Structure formats: structure tokens, C-alpha cells
């Protein structure tokens, strides 16, 4: 086996590993983003608060 053949095989194996890792990470992210039975928390300052604002104070 020549040096060029060896380098090509090493390069091909490295590229294969990169794509396998990328696919594994993408699958993990998509599984984490899958809808769950629990609702997502609302961001701070959400407008659906059940609290009523305090009435303005008279000076």
C-alpha cells in the first residue's frame, strides 16, 4: 500500500467518524426537542399572569 493510499484511507475514516458524530448529535438534539407531556415554562414577563397590578397610590 502506498503512502497516498494510506493517507486516503485515514482521511476517509476521519470523515466517516465526523459524519457519524454529527448524526448522533443531531438525533440527540431532535429527541430533546420532541414535544413532551409537560408544558414549557413561560419566559419572564409573560403576559398571562393571574396577578392584578396594584392600584396607583395617591400622594
**DSSP per-residue letters across 1-59:** --HHHHHHHHHHHHHHHHHHHHHHHHHHHHHHTS--SSPPPPPTT-TT--PPPPPPPP-
- Distance CA(52)–CA(46), nearest Å, equals 13
Supply the pLDDT for residue 30: 82
Query: Which tens digit of pLDDT belongs to each residue from 5-30?
Result: 999 999 999 999 999 999 988 888 88
Supply the pLDDT for residue 14: 96
Supply the pLDDT for residue 38: 63
**48 secondary structure, DSSP code:** T
* Residue ranges covered by each domain of the chain: 1-29
Per the listing, cell 500500500 goes with 1
Structure pTM? 0.46
Amino acid at each position: 500500500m502506498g503512502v497516498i493510499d494510506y493517507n486516503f484511507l485515514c482521511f476517509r475514516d476521519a470523515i466517516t467518524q465526523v459524519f457519524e458524530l454529527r448524526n448522533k448529535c443531531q438525533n440527540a438534539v431532535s429527541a430533546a426537542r420532541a414535544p413532551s407531556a409537560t408544558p414549557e415554562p413561560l419566559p419572564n414577563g409573560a403576559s398571562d399572569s393571574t396577578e392584578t397590578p396594584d392600584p396607583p397610590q395617591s400622594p
